Amino acid sequence: MSSTAPDGPVSSGISRRGFIAGTGSVLGIAALPGRATAARAETARAAAPIASGAHVPALVIGTGYGGSVAALRLAQAGVDVHMIEMGMAWDTPGSDGKIFCNTREPDYRSYWLRTRTKAPLNYFLGLPIDRDIPRHTGILDAEEFGGITVYQGRGVGGGSLVNGGMAVTPKRENFGAVLPSVDADEMYDVYYPRANAGLGVGTVDPAWFDSTACYQYSRVGRKHAQRSGFPFVFVPDVYDWDYMEQEAAGTVPRSALAGEILYGNNHGKKSLQQTYLARARATGRVTVSPLHRVTSVAPAAGRYTVVIDQLNTTGDTTAVKTVTADRVFFAAGSVGTSKLLVRLKATGVLPGLNGEIGRGWGDNGNVMCGRANHLWDPTGALQSAIPCSGIDNWAAGGAFAEVAPLPTGIETFASFYLSITRNPHRAEFSWNAAAGRVDLNWQASWKRPSIDMARTIFDRINSREGTIYRTDLFGVYKIWGDHLTYHPLGGAVLNRATDNYGRLTAYPGLYVVDGALIPGNTTVNPFVTITALAERNIERIIATDL
Ligand code: FAE
């Protein structure tokens, strides 16, 4: 599998219909690129990875939400952008003809440089389900710190490659706690709508939801929530809902209905590759270097010197490149950006970064659990891997719970949930000089408040339904999946580590544009807020700094 290959035409692994659907909603709000622009886009796609000695006006570290928004808007403003991405391009099918592997059959494509899978839900019926795999630059990183495993996407598209696509705008009354220094009116009038349009967000058709076998598990979740008096809400998603209906009808290849999610969706999901990044590339001004990892950013005569390792697919460094950039945008995700900035400050490369660097990191209060239903409440052998609903007990109990799938392909009689909770704990990244790495001081016991908040929902449901918690999903007799997060946030918090628009003010031309800006919690799933904040900040930066 050639992993550095540039993007080709729509590959056989992604259906043309799915691709067009994916880009269509975006192209609908943007002018179609003209022939000259399209030709330049082709040139960008064919471009070789960045060369040592190159100079670029804008260098973006990472290709997730923050990076993709920054790249698109800079390019539209006439700035040439080079994006550096440590993960693979994910544009070339493997020997099975598919780009991504299935959640039920993880192979070399599944994990980032591991020799054994580390499934978030790692037991079933009390038995461990992890298996050996070849070490490869796979798509999902399970990065282990002392007290928590942080799951992140690796590749062109960042977290959008592996996530559930749940695209949730926080309730307005909760926004003040999410980003206290940001004008809520502007966000809800301008930037959240812009982000939702750019991401191609949609909601399941309620009539289809009520009739399809693949959301039986969600309907059971609704029944149980409502009988206990909790508000049940539909949750928007970037999955193409028309495509999913066709999957259910058997007229197109299945993705969500074939259990694809954690290791990528071969069809249906509008990842950033199909939305923001497609538009960015169509400008002809954006080039991407996959399998390149930034290791240093240092000031040099009014510019920045950026050191980059080129990787092969077993994770070895095959070349070290040095380039210069007028501006550098840190978009390596909450963990990636925080680790870089903390190390560069502590090792004297960027000593002027302020004391807030590395602080304010939170897990968005993530905690998982399952409930064992009665035999008359089956949740279905066929489950869409894309969640579409939640239980909102934020105001009363500090928890918002996704009704999540267990797409095992067999009837489990289980209801499964990922809760986002108002966990008050915040951790700090620090440089461990002896070990030569960045540590995070999160404590495993800090999940206790999250469990208590999730219990405000599920204790009541269990009591009403006469059901119990599953104890076989996270170990032997272990109820709570409290060892992980999917939603790392913070580490370079807005208006503390940066100014109120993400500028690292000690170093003009350095910016943070990703989830590192958000102080630990978004009350709901985070990527719409990350996208909207990036839209707000880059608009200001383009207007005033360029
Ligand atoms: P992110 O998307 O993580 O992108 C950072 C990129 O930078 C990655 O591609 C990295 O490989 C790359 N990178 C890191 N370090 C370097 C370096 N040194 N040099 C070059 N490249 C580098 O950042 N959120 C939702 O809102 N809804 C969901 O349904 C949802 N489900 C999720 C399910 C899973 C399994 C996971 C893991 C996450 C989920 N999330 C969900 C979280 C969401 O994907 C995440 O908040 C965003 O992706 C974060 O966006 P950023 O732009 O901050």
Sign of CA pseudo-dihedral 176, 178, 182, 183: negative
Q: How far, in Å, from the CA of 223 to the mean position of ligand 1? A: 33
Q: Check if the beta carbon of residue 267 is closer than 8 Å to that of residue 239.
A: no
| Contact between residue 45 and residue 7 where contact means Cβ atoms under 8 Å apart | yes
Task: Supply the DSSP string of 256-290, one letter for each residue.
Answer: GGGT--TT--SSSB--TTTTHHHHHHHTT-EEEET
Closest residue (by CA) to atom 34 of ligand 1? 163
Pick from 130, 125, 128: nearest CA to 472: 125
Structure tokens given for 51: 């060369």
Please state, in angstroms and as integers, the Cα–Cα distance from residue 99 to each residue in 140, 229, 310, following that order: 14, 43, 22
What pLDDT digit, counting tens, does each position of 448-464 carry?
Answer: 999 999 999 999 999 99
- 249 alpha carbon to ligand 1 midpoint, in Å? 32
Is residue 1's pLDDT more than 80? Answer: no
- The domain made up of 5-545 has a fold known as FAD/NAD(P)-binding domain (3.50.50)
Is the pLDDT higher at 35 or at 318?
A: 318
Rg of the chain (C-alpha set): 22
Question: What is the average per-residue pLDDT within 116-122?
Answer: 95
CA 154 to chain centre: 9
Mean pLDDT of the region 106-127: 94
Q: Are 306 and 328 in contact (CB under 8 A)?
A: yes
Question: How much is the pLDDT for 125?
Answer: 80
Q: Is 154 in the pocket of ligand 1 (CB under 6 A)?
A: yes
Work out the average pLDDT over 55-84.
98
State residue 118's pLDDT score.
Answer: 97
CB distance 527 to ligand 1 below 6 Å: yes
| pLDDT in the model for residue 487 | 98
Cβ of 390 below 6 Å from ligand 1: no
Instruction: State pLDDT tens for residues 242-287.
Output: 999 999 999 999 999 999 999 999 999 999 999 999 999 999 999 9
Distance (Å, whole) CA 300 – CA 19: 42
- Determine which residue's CA is closest to atom 41 belonging to ligand 1: 163
- Give residue-wise pLDDT tens across range 471-522: 999 988 999 999 999 999 999 999 999 999 999 999 999 999 999 999 999 9
Model confidence at 47, pLDDT cuts 50, 70, 90, reads low
Cα–Cα nearest to 44, from 13, 71, 73, 16: 71
Q: What percent of the chain has pLDDT over 70?
A: 91
| Ligand 1 near 238 CB (within 6 A) | no
Q: Report the C-alpha gap between 153 and 293 in whole angstroms.
A: 14
* Residue 13: pLDDT over 60: no
Phi-psi region of 420 (alpha: psi -120 to 50; beta: other; left: phi over 0): beta
Q: Which long-range contacts (CB under 8 A, 24 or more apart) does 126-130 make?
A: 126/471, 126/472, 126/476, 126/477
The domains of the chain are located at 5-545
Q: How far is CA 157 from the centre of its chain?
A: 9
pLDDT score, position 18: 29
Check pLDDT > 90 for residue 145: yes
Report the catalytic residues: 402, 487
Ligand 1 near 502 CB (within 6 A): no
In the chain, the percentage of residues whose pLDDT exceeds 90 is 90
Spacing, Cα 335 to ligand 1 middle (Å): 9
Q: Is the CB of 221 under 6 A from ligand 1?
A: no
Write down the mean pLDDT value for the chain: 92
CA distances, 34 to each of 30, 38, 56 (Å): 12, 6, 25
pLDDT band at 9 (very low <50, low <70, confident <90, very high): very low
Closest atom of ligand 1 relative to the 526 alpha carbon = 26
Q: List, for residues 380-434, the tens digit of each pLDDT value.
A: 999 999 999 999 999 999 999 999 999 999 999 999 999 999 999 999 999 999 9
Pocket test for ligand 1, best of 156, 403, 486, 538 (most atoms within 8 A of CB): 486
pLDDT in tens, 191-206: 999 999 999 999 999 9
